[in-house]
């Protein structure tokens, strides 16, 4: 039996420390990934369950959350304004995900319609360098400046030739598009409207027709001003009706941006009415027709419908992202390509919070109490609580509804001021001058006097010299500035005559 010598030392071979750390790190990574997988799987399950529970509760309340249940059914082309060829071409396109290009099938018609829109647009067209006309700026159409611009554009449009007056020059130039405008006027006689939007693209759905209808409305506004300058009141009246019809048509599709565009188009139409009032050219029958057309508008109902549609668009986008559908290709075009790769838990939780936010919107509160009691409910701060990834996307996709609601209130005020202005003008035609107070309009010229939709106080009225008056709302800042007009949130919303020099 061998035994170690007393003076021998037992030597242990040292282990390499990096191997120990590598094994420990590997174990830690595997454990972390396993835990992460389990957490994500649980959160995906929990998010789905929360969403399905919410959707069932919403359905029990009569709330429609899916886009398919909100989209209006197809209508016959023969009854559909949007089916006339010149308008149908605007939405007849294909999207190629390979190169992220949109290609219109009828390029000739599409390009012609866009040329019509660009001619009266804000860029290098008819109103370049011109003070933008509008009732809210007390600024009539500047026919002289438009004529100067038209002469500069004569190399592009063969129909532009200087006539005896700026109004005649403008009418001659706008005749370039008479064929297109006539086909649209005929199409406007159809009783229904349904634009063939690409709903399957959800938030990426293109809406080129909206800019076109703003342009068409401007045609009506500018032609009306030119006809009034030539004292052709009947022709001017018909152009205002055309412009009003543009707003009516574009507002049928209950989409948020469509509702906002309708407000803008109606404001342009009202600017055309304004020009005839400040020159005392409309007769009582024409004014009554304007009152009827404007009285049929209800911005609060239109916006409520649009918010429901916006909810459907949002939910459809979340569904497509979760399913990993071809929407990703479209997202690369719009900047949301990362969303389709997010865990389903993130998508479910953002969807849930976005729907909670929509649940809290009640425009009837704004209609009843004005802006002061309602804007707090519209702030996105309500979305930005808890775990950041669970509300970040909802905050990005939720439109700026606080600003939209202010525009709805302003749209309601715009309609009310315009209707009152028509009633005041009819009073002047009958009595020889404007009344001292708005109360004098009731009951012969008005059924009642509307409240200020911004503050729910009284609209302000002041009779002025030289057959003039001022009407105004205190605006979104809810402060009475005595009829002072300013940009942005400050200042009142005012209907008044142009100041000297305008």
Report residue 30's pLDDT band, with 50, 70 and 90 as the boundaries: confident
- Per the structure block, which two tokens stand in for 436? 């001292």
Mean pLDDT of 390-394: 83
Report residue 373's pLDDT band, with 50, 70 and 90 as the boundaries: low
Q: Which residues pair with 461 in a beta bridge?
A: 471
Residues in the chain: 502
The number of beta carbons lying within 10 Å of the beta carbon of residue 496 is 20
Q: In this predicted structure, what is the pLDDT of residue 376?
A: 57
Is the confidence at residue 330, as pLDDT, over 50?
A: no
Q: State the chain's mean pLDDT as an integer.
A: 86
Q: Convert the pLDDT of each residue in 94-139 to its tens digit.
A: 877 666 678 899 999 999 998 888 888 765 567 777 778 999 999 9
Mean pLDDT of 5-25: 64
DSSP-assigned letter for residue 4: -
Residues 6 or more apart whose Cβ sits within 8 Å of residue 247: 213, 217, 262, 265, 266, 269, 297
CA-to-CA distance for 260 and 264, rounded, in angstroms?
6
- The full 3-state SS of 265-307, as one line of letters, equals HHHHHHHHHHHHHHCCCCCHHHHHHHHHHHHCCCHHHHHHHHH
What percentage of the chain has pLDDT greater than the value 70?
87
SS3 229: helix
Q: Convert the pLDDT of each residue in 297-326 to its tens digit.
A: 999 999 989 888 888 888 988 888 888 764
Is the confidence at residue 329, as pLDDT, over 70?
A: no
Q: In this predicted structure, what is the pLDDT of residue 10?
A: 53
Report residue 269's pLDDT band, with 50, 70 and 90 as the boundaries: very high
CA angle 84, 88, 89 (to 5 degrees): 125
Q: In this predicted structure, what is the pLDDT of residue 36?
A: 79
Give the predicted TM-score (pTM) of the model: 0.86
Mean pLDDT of 79-88: 94
pLDDT higher at 231 or 19: 231
């Amino acid at each position: 039996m061998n035994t170690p010598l007393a003076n021998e030392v037992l030597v242990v071979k040292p282990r390499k420390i990096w191997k120990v750390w590598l094994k420990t790190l590997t174990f830690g990574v595997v454990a972390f990934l396993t835990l992460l997988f389990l957490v994500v799987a649980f959160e995906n399950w929990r998010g789905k369950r929360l969403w399905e529970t919410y959707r069932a509760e919403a359905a029990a309340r009569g709330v429609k959350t899916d886009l398919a249940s909100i989209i209006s059914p197809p209508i016959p082309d023969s009854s559909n304004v949007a089916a006339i060829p010149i308008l149908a071409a605007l939405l007849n396109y294909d999207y190629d995900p390979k190169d992220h290009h949109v290609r219109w099938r009828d390029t000739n018609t599409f390009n012609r319609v866009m040329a019509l829109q660009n001619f009266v647009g804000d860029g290098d067209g008819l109103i370049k360098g011109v003070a933008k006309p509008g009732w809210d700026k007390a600024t009539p159409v500047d026919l002289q400046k438009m004529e100067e611009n038209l002469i500069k554009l004569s190399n592009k449009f063969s129909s532009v030739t200087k006539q005896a007056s700026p109004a005649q020059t403008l009418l001659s130039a706008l005749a370039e598009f008479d064929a297109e405008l006539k086909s649209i006027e005929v199409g406007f006689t159809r009783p229904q409207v349904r634009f063939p939007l690409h709903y399957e693209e959800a938030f990426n759905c293109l809406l080129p027709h909206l800019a076109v209808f703003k342009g068409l409305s401007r045609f009506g506004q500018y032609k009306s001003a030119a006809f009034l300058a030539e004292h052709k009141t009947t022709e001017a009246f018909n152009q205002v009706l055309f412009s009003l019809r543009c707003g009516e048509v574009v507002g049928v599709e209950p989409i948020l941006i469509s509702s906002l565009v309708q407000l803008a188009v109606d404001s342009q139409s009202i600017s055309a009415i304004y020009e005839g009032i400040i020159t005392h050219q409309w007769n009582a029958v024409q004014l009554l027709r304007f009152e009827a057309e404007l009285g049929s508008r209800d911005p609060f109902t239109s916006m409520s419908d649009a918010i429901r549609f916006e909810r459907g668009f949002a939910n459809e986008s979340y569904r497509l992202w979760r399913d990993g559908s071809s929407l990703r290709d479209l997202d690369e075009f719009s900047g949301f390509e990362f969303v389709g790769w997010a865990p389903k838990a993130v998508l479910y939780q953002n969807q849930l919070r976005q729907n909670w936010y929509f649940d809290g919107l009640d425009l009837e509160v704004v209609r009843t109490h004005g802006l002061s009691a309602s804007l707090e409910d519209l702030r996105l701060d309500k979305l930005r609580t808890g775990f950041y990834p669970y509300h970040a996307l909802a905050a990005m996709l939720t439109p700026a509804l606080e600003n939209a609601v202010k525009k709805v209130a302003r749209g309601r005020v715009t309609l009310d001021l315009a209707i009152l202005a028509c009633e005041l003008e009819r009073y002047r035609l009958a009595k020889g001058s404007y009344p001292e107070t708005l109360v004098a309009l009731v009951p012969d010229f008005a059924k009642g006097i509307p409240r200020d939709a911004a503050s729910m106080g009284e609209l302000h009225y002041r009779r002025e010299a030289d057959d003039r008056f001022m009407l105004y709302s205190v605006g979104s800042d809810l402060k009475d500035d005595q009829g002072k007009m300013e940009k942005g949130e400050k200042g009142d919303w005012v209907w008044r005559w142009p100041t000297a020099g305008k």
